[in-house]
Amino acid sequence: MDTAAKLKELLCKELNLKLKPEEITDDMPLFGEGLGLDSLDAVEIVVILKKHMGVTIADSEQAKKVFVSMKTLIDFVETELGKK
């Protein structure tokens, strides 16, 4: 399973999203009109990334850049995994 598919599956499962992983597009915003996530979900995503992917978000500035869309999240995780 590639990184994008794994992330989408994890988010659907761990955040109890009503969408199926295959319904989430890479350009979909994480907040607002996209997945409709909130600040508590953002905290949960940080935990999910650490627990399931071994990836850590350094600070709130980095989180603002990473949590824009599925694509920015996927790109970040792939970059971090590539460093290991």
pTM for this one?
0.92
Instruction: Write down the pLDDT at residue 8.
Output: 97
Instruction: Write down the pLDDT at residue 70.
Output: 97
Is pLDDT at 57 greater than 80 in this prediction? yes
What are the chain's domains? 3-82 (1.10.1200.10)
Is pLDDT at 73 greater than 90 in this prediction? yes
Instruction: Write down the pLDDT at residue 7.
Output: 97
Please calculate the CA angle 77-80-57 and round it to the nearest 5 degrees. Answer: 75
What confidence tier does 66 reach under pLDDT thresholds 50, 70, 90? Answer: very high
Instruction: Write down the pLDDT at residue 83.
Output: 82
